[in-house]
Amino acid sequence: MLFLPADTGAVSVGADDVAAAIEACSISQALDVRIVRTGSRGAYWLEPLLEVATPAGRIGFANLSAGDVPALFAAGVPTGAHPSCLGLVDALPWLRQQQRLTFARAGIIDPLSLSDYRDTGGLAGLERARALAPQAIIHEVVASGLRGRGGAAFPAGLKWQTVHDTPAAVRYVVCNADEGDSGTFADRLLIEADPMQLIEGMAIAARAVGAAQGFIYLRSEYPLAARTLDRALHVAREAGVLGDGFDIAVRLGGGAYICGEETALLESLEGRRGVVRAKPPLPAREGLFGQPTVINNVLTFAAVTEVLARGGAAYAGHGVDRSRGTMPFQLAGNVTRGGLVEVPFGITVRALVEGFGGGCASGRPMKAVQVGGPLGAYLPESQWDAPLAYESMAAIGAMLGHGGVVVFDDTADMGEQAQFAMEFCAHESCGKCTPCRIGSTRGAEVIGRLRRGESVAASRALLDDLCETMELGSLCALGGLTPMPVRSVLRYFGHELVPAMPAPLGEEVPA
Amino acid sequence: MRTADDEVDTLRDLLSGAEAGSTPLLPLLQAVKQRVGHVSPGAIRMVAQALNLSRAEVHGVVSFYGDLREAPVGRHVVQVCMAEACQSVGCRALMRHAAQALGVSAGTTTSDGRVHLEAVYCLGNCALGPAVRIGDRVHGAVTPARFDALIAQLGGTA
């Protein structure tokens, strides 16, 4: 039996061509092979990664191209002795040093096989939830300490409790699968590798709060994930995982980053422009169509299956401070061994980018690491020993966000990155509030002036003012957090933004 | 080549199942774009009428979402990811190359109508950048030479 990912990342570097070459080879050599198209293990630096089942376990052949296949299969199905052979995939340090709870099945099972899912522990959480009273399910989630993995890190149990306690005839469960941050791909990876886990997690949430209808709002940039999800929902319905009092519909986004913000997402689901709503009321009280709504990210729902299967206390046993459980970090950008690294909270930036990542793919020195997506801080080497957890990141003026970690080498122009942060906000602003709508455009202009060395002192003062206005006056996190990458560049790379800028730039950290 | 009559037929077909208040607007507009390629002012009028919405309201939705467009573009939409992870591995240079090779700037279509080039912010292939999407296919680790090869594989001129 052969296993080859059909994941977007693997396919983007030729996995489908490898599959076709293997099929052609198996016909011409009359080999009896079956290729299972899995999701990816998230070891993107090894893709396309072919795995061959042997009595000792699965052995891997990395970075294959279609041209490698004839030689690889020259003596039948390969079992080693080829330059691309990695040995047992499970024994790779990069994977062995991870602690995979949510991504334990990724790349291993057939994503659309419910029996594969069940055989690897799937559905145990839902079965347990079906034997519990709704309030008891919520108690487990509260006990787990699980916080929303989408970025805002709100305690999931508290949200569910609010939806449960709000009187209403109709309640909804909505999955925010609009993962728009650059450097993040965990939602996509999970949907393509293990969609049943998301479906199971949403079914558990529906039981906990008494919802009959769920929606998955998936970004349109993920066509392959959309196809996998449609098929998985069909399988789940046929098998009765869904359909008995709860069903899920998939809605595609329209290419608007702001729709990842939960209230903008709800507006979009209701068919309108994705303009943010003022909070309160919280969606847990008045969400989709004005009804109490559980809205969580893909990874949050996925984590819930584990919480229910093994108990909230077991999940809470991982992590540090109030950052409980594991976090799937996404190691991206200019990095040698990029991919998904699921470990307990508290790993340092350095352990991630140097240990797992192996430094820059370009072979040049690493210069900056942006943590938490386009609204996250750029950290210089002096900050790489900070632990990756909600509290410790906040303490250095950074944030974890959706767990994206993007590596830059020493050729990066940090002034350009700061300007881009404002330009991105201007591009993606929903336009409802003035600080974000206008501040972002003015911010890009001011940074442009600074980079050209024009009226440096005045521009610098103006930029500080503008950042503060955006932080305090914006309706949502887009405008409110765009100053974070900008301020981090000013603080740590200010000499690069404008060589003539007067020092010091202040070590203040926003509260 | 699709004619205006085809478009009206397609719209009638799509709208026949749609009723005011029961059909979500965005999925309907996405279906129109999927089938027709864009959402023309005429389509906006028909959708508004069918769903009992104002034209301004429908136009507001069409203009808000980057995926929807009111006018047709080239036969092949080529999206170059310009977000941070791809920036760190040279997408700015790749976009410059793409623009030069195609003789267009980002957001415009080649004069023969063959290729529409645009910037996109994150294709979710951040560990294998620079990423380029053509149609529903994402390509990773795209070098300028690979970009040229991908463009050469696209169907002939319009």
Q: Is the ipTM of this complex over 0.85?
A: yes
Instruction: Identify any residues that bridge with B118 across adjacent strands, giving them in sequence order.
Output: B79
Candidates B88, B96, B133, partner chain A, best to mutate (most A CBs within 10 A): B88
Taking CB atoms and an 8 Å limit, are B121 and A8 in contact across chains? no
| Token output for A155 | 């305690």
pLDDT band for position B156 (cuts 50, 70, 90): low
Cis before A344 (ω within 30): no
- Dist. CA A21–CA A66, nearest whole Å: 6
pLDDT score at A318: 85
The sheet carrying A339-344 orders its strands as A339-344, A326-333, A404-409, A366-371, A378-379
pLDDT score at B15: 84
pLDDT mean over B51-66: 94
Q: With beta carbons under 8 A apart, name residues in chain A contacting B66.
A: 254-256
pLDDT mean over B116-134: 97
Facing B124 at nearest CB: one of A45, A185, A334? A185
Instruction: From A447, A453, A431, select the one nearest A502 (Cα to Cα).
Output: A453
- Min Cα distance B5 → chain A (Å) is 26
Candidates A13, A16, A221, A298, partner chain B, best to mutate (most B CBs within 10 A): A221
Measured in whole angstroms, the distance separating CA B135 from the mean position of its chain's CA atoms is 9
Q: With beta carbons under 8 A apart, name residues in chain B contacting A428.
A: 121
pLDDT score at A508: 46
Cis before A281 (ω within 30): yes
pLDDT score at B23: 67
- Dist. CA A354–CA B49, nearest whole Å: 59
CB A308 within 8 A of CB A101: no
DSSP assigned state of A286? S
CB B44 within 8 A of CB B62: yes
DSSP assigned state of A387? B
User: CA of A263: how far to CAs of A190, A478, B11, in Å?
Assistant: 24, 12, 31
Q: Is A72 helix (H, G, I), strand (E, B) or coil?
A: helix
Cis before A195 (ω within 30): no
Taking CB atoms and an 8 Å limit, are B133 and A221 in contact across chains? yes
pLDDT score at A501: 59
Taking CB atoms and an 8 Å limit, are B60 and A45 in contact across chains? no
pLDDT score at A507: 46
pLDDT score at A150: 82
Facing A188 at nearest CB: one of B24, B67, B124? B124
pLDDT score at A502: 54
Written as tens digits, the pLDDT of chain A (511 aa) is 999 999 999 999 999 999 999 999 999 999 989 999 999 999 999 999 999 999 999 999 999 999 999 999 998 999 888 899 999 999 999 999 999 999 999 999 999 999 999 999 999 999 999 999 999 999 999 999 999 988 788 999 999 999 999 999 999 999 999 999 999 999 999 999 999 999 999 999 999 999 999 999 999 999 999 999 999 999 999 999 998 899 999 999 999 999 999 999 999 999 999 999 999 999 999 999 999 999 999 999 999 999 999 999 999 988 877 888 889 999 999 999 999 999 999 999 999 999 999 999 999 999 999 999 999 999 999 999 999 999 999 999 999 999 999 999 999 999 999 999 999 999 999 999 999 999 999 999 999 999 999 999 999 999 999 999 999 999 999 999 999 999 999 999 998 988 765 554 444 444 4
The sheet carrying B132-134 orders its strands as B108-109, B115-120, B76-81, B132-134, B137-139
Taking CB atoms and an 8 Å limit, are A12 and B140 in contact across chains? yes
Facing B140 at nearest CB: one of A9, A251, A420? A9
B106 touches chain A (CB under 8 A): no
- Dist. CA B155–CA B158, nearest whole Å: 9
pLDDT score at A149: 87
Instruction: From A270, A312, A263, A261, select the one nearest A286 (Cα to Cα).
Output: A263
- What is the C-alpha radius of gyration for chain B, rounded to an integer number of angstroms? 18
- Dist. CA A155–CA A9, nearest whole Å: 31
B87 touches chain A (CB under 8 A): yes
- Dist. CA A387–CA A399, nearest whole Å: 11
Instruction: From A78, A57, A60, select the one nearest A10 (Cα to Cα).
Output: A60
- Dist. CA A130–CA A208, nearest whole Å: 9
Q: Which residues contact B77 (CB under 8 A, 6 or more apart)?
A: B116, B118, B134, B135
- Min Cα distance A15 → chain B (Å) is 11
| Token output for A227 | 């196809």
Taking CB atoms and an 8 Å limit, are A269 and B24 in contact across chains? yes
- Dist. CA A153–CA A453, nearest whole Å: 39
B77 touches chain A (CB under 8 A): no
- Dist. CA A28–CA A447, nearest whole Å: 61
pLDDT score at B13: 84
Facing B66 at nearest CB: one of A184, A255, A409? A255
Facing A183 at nearest CB: one of B84, B131, B141? B84
How many degrees, rounded to 5, is the angle at CA A121 between CA A115 and CA A124? 100
Scanning A114-221, the segments in alpha helix (DSSP H) are: 114-119, 124-130, 134-144, 156-165, 186-193, 195-209
Q: With beta carbons under 8 A apart, name residues in chain B contacting A361.
A: 89
Q: With beta carbons under 8 A apart, name residues in chain B contacting A185.
A: 124-127
pLDDT score at B20: 58
Taking CB atoms and an 8 Å limit, are B61 and A271 in contact across chains? yes
Taking CB atoms and an 8 Å limit, are A44 and B85 in contact across chains? no
- Dist. CA A4–CA A78, nearest whole Å: 14
A255 touches chain B (CB under 8 A): yes
Candidates B73, B122, B146, partner chain A, best to mutate (most A CBs within 10 A): B122
pLDDT score at A509: 45
CB A323 within 8 A of CB A391: yes
pLDDT score at B3: 63
pLDDT at B4 over 80: no
- Min Cα distance B1 → chain A (Å) is 25
Residue type, B138: V
B107 touches chain A (CB under 8 A): no
Facing B128 at nearest CB: one of A13, A374, A406? A13
Q: What is the pTM of this model?
A: 0.95
> Which chain B residue has its CA at the smallest distance from A413's CA?
B88
DSSP assigned state of B124? S
pLDDT score at A152: 83
Facing A9 at nearest CB: one of B66, B87, B127? B127
- Dist. CA A141–CA A402, nearest whole Å: 20
B18 touches chain A (CB under 8 A): no
pLDDT score at B6: 80
